[in-house]
Amino acid sequence: MSSNGFVSLVGAGPGDPSLFTVGGVARMAAADVVLYDRLANAALLRHARKDADLIYAGKMPDRHTMTQDEINALLVEKARAGERVVRLKGGDPFVFGRGGEEAEALAAAGIPFEVLPGVTSAIAAPAYAGIPVTHRGIASSFAVVTAHGAGQQTADSRQQGSDDETAALDWAAIAHGADTLVFLMGVGSLGEIAARLIEHGRAADTPVAVIEWGTHPRQRTVASTLAHIADDAREAGVQAPAVTVVGEVARLRERLRWFDARPLSGRRVLVTRTREQASELSRLLEEQGAEAIELPTIEIVETAEQSLVDAAVEELRTSSFQWVIFTSPNAISIFMRHVRERGHDARAFGRAQIAAVGPGTAAALAREGLVADLVPAAYAQEGLLDAFEGRVLQGARILLPRAEDARDNVIDGLEAKGARIDELVLYRAAVPPDRDSEGLHLLREGSFDIVTFTSSSAVRNLIEMLDGDLAPLRRTRIAAIGPVTADAVRAAGLEVGVMASEYTIAGLVAAIVEGAP
Ligand code: SAH
């Protein structure tokens, strides 16, 4: 047995990736093997190394994919093989997570392990619904109880010594044991739970809230009373996973509701940017409460010819260019990588001035430690030409590192002013080959409220990815970052529902929020 084998039982939190712990992130980054459950948000897997072995050990309500014994055995086996194992479990591993059983198996096998607690859904789901489990003057205690199987419990099963956990529940004690009761699992047993609590002296009008998919963008809350919660939850179609909060604190939601009161709560928005660029838009949308789903419609394929790049970088360093114009963040990151690969840094620009087509491109320059000398007020290539108005370009040499098939307006306009343009083609924006992504399926199903476009090529490429079928895009609102993108939408025969007034990612999100019904 190798001495390195080690298991971390890590709490994944209730769903919102920002509730994952710093320790969890570190353990994931170090893991050779990650065993994860259905309730551990798959988004956390991005913290794992690319070469880590990711094993799904989830249990579906209908069909067991791996038994608990198999999971225990696998943990022991991987650790014995010398692997660093992360066992990622929804919420907190020791709150109804069977983490205790896994720890027992590891202890029995002599495998070293640690436990990293996580944020439990028992507290976090109520919190995201605006319900504090304790509150001064209202509730000074709370209990977390499993509701699993309460509904199936019969006199028979009790007599036969059922292994049903709730068979052992002392309902009289639970009803009076704590001010706030939080039930996990068993949404189907709400009627039984309510009946027993009322039977044991809890008032029928006690406030109750059931929170489905707590802390996830699709979180939903049904608020009611003990007398009516079963009917109300059934009517609303509440399904697992859900927690049920019983007690006066549930009433505080009326005043403290926040997560699902944000402007874009419950809205599903498609983000069509490249994988590298999508995150900022997704984050800003999520901040407003939306569920952002990324479907990259552009794949950057580098096409630069080495000898041409060599020559351009050399001429830049020897101050042959008066200007360098960047019309996309992609051009900046690729160009700067070429500069670094040749052993240079930002000083390669020497005395050349730098222009950026808009604020996003200027921000990309700033990330490279470069300040744009010229950023047009109106964000579009025409704005760039206007911005050069009044500057002497006669005989000036301008380097234009950019994409293949980029629009020629800039070149024509600058040449008309007497400049000499050296175009340096760095990449091609291609249509991604993947036609089987979640985003595309959801779009075909019509489950997006809004589809966002931040470039005209994203519009054209998405339509190509839909094999020319415009129907899915007619069923949703289309948001465009600016006039050029909006024109591309209309040219495709579609309607623009939202257009940013400031042509930036933040401007796009602001316009979507403003236009949200
Ligand atoms: N260890 C987990 C609980 C595992 S038991 C924790 O600490 O949260 C599984 C039950 O947890 C589900 O049936 C449901 O009642 C609850 N649960 C887990 N994640 C949830 C979520 N995001 N929203 C609501 N309930 C959740």
> What percentage of the chain has pLDDT greater than the value 90?
75
Query: In whole angstroms, what separates CA 22 from the centre of its chain?
Result: 17
- Tell me which of 202, 237, 260 is where a domain ends: 260
56: in domain = yes
CA angle 501, 507, 511 (to 5 degrees): 70
What are 272's two structure tokens? 């069509």
Instruction: Answer yes or no: 69 catalytic.
Output: no
Picking from 35-44, 217-226, 394-403, 411-420, which range would have the lowest pLDDT averaged per residue?
35-44
Picking from 161-170, 227-236, 363-372, which range would have the lowest pLDDT averaged per residue?
161-170
AA identity, residue 467: D
Q: Provide the 3-class DSSP secondary structure of residue 281.
A: helix
CATH number of residue 93's parent domain: 3.40.1010.10
Q: Provide the 3-class DSSP secondary structure of residue 332.
A: helix
Q: Please state the domain count of the chain.
A: 4
CA–CA distance, 369 with 366 (Å, rounded to integer): 5
Give the pTM: 0.76
Domain housing 396: 302-429
DSSP string spanning 23-40? HHHHHHHH-SEEEE-TTS
Does residue 138 surpass a pLDDT of 50?
Answer: yes
Strand-pair partners of 36: 56, 88
Does residue 318 surpass a pLDDT of 50?
Answer: yes
Q: How many CB atoms lie within 10 A of CB 274?
A: 19
- For residue 3, what pLDDT is reported? 65
What are 297's two structure tokens? 């419609």
Q: Are residues 133 and 197 in the same domain?
A: yes
Q: Is any atom of ligand 1 closer than 6 Å to the C-beta of 245?
A: no
Q: Is any atom of ligand 1 closer than 6 Å to the C-beta of 360?
A: no
How far, in Å, are 6, 11, 99, 238, 504 from residue 214 at the CA level? 31, 16, 21, 12, 32
- For residue 64, what pLDDT is reported? 62
Instruction: Answer yes or no: 37 catalytic.
Output: yes
Residue pLDDT, tens place only, 6-29: 999 999 999 999 999 999 999 999
What are 115's two structure tokens? 């436990």
CA angle 264, 270, 272 (to 5 degrees): 135
Does residue 150 surpass a pLDDT of 80?
Answer: no
The 3-state secondary structure of 5-22 reads CEEEEEECECCCHHHCCH
CA–CA distance, 270 with 335 (Å, rounded to integer): 29
455: in domain = yes
1: in domain = no
Q: Is any atom of ligand 1 closer than 6 Å to the C-beta of 13?
A: no
User: Which listed residue (16, 28, 32, 37) is catalytic?
Assistant: 37
- For residue 494, what pLDDT is reported? 97
- The ligand 1 atom at the shortest distance from the C-alpha of residue 92 is 7
Q: Are residues 281 and 153 in the same domain?
A: no
Q: Is any atom of ligand 1 closer than 6 Å to the C-beta of 403?
A: no
Q: Provide the 3-class DSSP secondary structure of residue 208.
A: strand
- For residue 378, what pLDDT is reported? 65
Instruction: Answer yes or no: 89 catalytic.
Output: no
247: left (phi over 0), alpha (psi -120 to 50) or beta: left
Q: Are residues 108 and 139 in the same domain?
A: no
Q: Are residues 278 and 319 in the same domain?
A: no
CA–CA distance, 96 with 90 (Å, rounded to integer): 10
CA–CA distance, 448 with 341 (Å, rounded to integer): 42
Q: Are residues 485 and 379 in the same domain?
A: no
pLDDT category at 161 given cuts 50, 70, 90 is very low
How far, in Å, are 59, 67, 220 from residue 63 at the CA level? 7, 10, 25
Query: Which of 36, 121, 131, 238 should be mutated for ligand 1, with most atoms under 8 A from CB?
Result: 121
Place of tokens 């996973």: 241
- Tell me which of 260, 286, 314 is where a domain ends: 260
Q: Who contacts 515 (Cβ-Cβ below 8 Å, separation ≥6)?
A: 477, 479, 497, 498
What are 218's two structure tokens? 């699709």
> What percentage of the chain has pLDDT greater than the value 70?
93
38: in domain = yes
CATH number of residue 363's parent domain: 3.40.50.10090
Place of tokens 């399926």: 441
- Tell me which of 429, 461, 493 is where a domain ends: 429
Q: Are residues 391 and 411 in the same domain?
A: yes
Residue pLDDT, tens place only, 227-274: 999 999 999 999 999 999 999 999 999 999 999 999 999 899 999 998
Q: Provide the 3-class DSSP secondary structure of residue 423.
A: strand
DSSP at 266: T
pLDDT category at 409 given cuts 50, 70, 90 is confident
Q: Provide the 3-class DSSP secondary structure of residue 90.
A: coil
pLDDT category at 381 given cuts 50, 70, 90 is low
Q: Provide the 3-class DSSP secondary structure of residue 164.
A: coil
- For residue 168, what pLDDT is reported? 63
Query: Which of 9, 18, 19, 39 should be mutated for ligand 1, with most atoms under 8 A from CB?
Result: 39
Q: Who contacts 17 (Cβ-Cβ below 8 Å, separation ≥6)?
A: 41, 43, 44
Q: Is any atom of ligand 1 closer than 6 Å to the C-beta of 9?
A: no
